[in-house]
Amino acid sequence: EVQLVESGGGLIQPGGSLRLSCAASGFTVSSYYMSWIRQAPGKGLEWVSVIYGDAGTYYIDSVKGRFTISRDNSKNTLYLQMDSLRAEDTAVYYCARGGGGDPDFDYWGQGTLVSVSS
């Protein structure tokens, strides 16, 4: 059974850093595109970043240079290092399998809340 379990969210001051983790089971992370998608409180969904192949990466403009996506193949875990956090980064962050076409977000984690506030 495919499962994705996020952790690492919390309350952080503007300018601070957090690292989110997404532990996968039931499949091999390195064999798929893997994405982070966020949802601000009461708002819609926004694709943030993807990792694929031999660690190719892509970021949306608003997080480029501040966020870093990575994975640990030995732990079958996806990460999102978030630096220089801003209030507008406040959201539930989901990891999802896919981001390269097919499958595209066929499995999602339960999400982890990141709140950026002083």
Interface residue list for another protein (CB under 8 A): 44-47, 58, 60, 94, 99, 101-106, 108-111
Q: Using alpha carbons only, what angle is made at residue 102 by residues 97 and 103, rounded to the nearest 5 degrees?
A: 30
Q: Give kind and range of the element (H or E) at residue 11.
A: strand 10-12
Find the shortest distance in angstroms from Cβ 23 to another protein: 15
Find the shortest distance in angstroms from Cβ 50 to another protein: 8
- 79 vs 93, which CB is nearer to another protein? 93
Contact by Cβ (8 Å): 70, 21: no
Find the shortest distance in angstroms from Cβ 52 to another protein: 11
Q: What is the 3-state secondary structure (H, E, C) of 42-97?
A: CCCEEEEEEEECCCEEEECCCCCCCEEEEEECCCCEEEEEECCCCHHHCEEEEEEE
- 2 vs 15, which CB is nearer to another protein? 2
Find the shortest distance in angstroms from Cβ 16 to another protein: 25
- 82 vs 92, which CB is nearer to another protein? 92
- 15 vs 56, which CB is nearer to another protein? 56
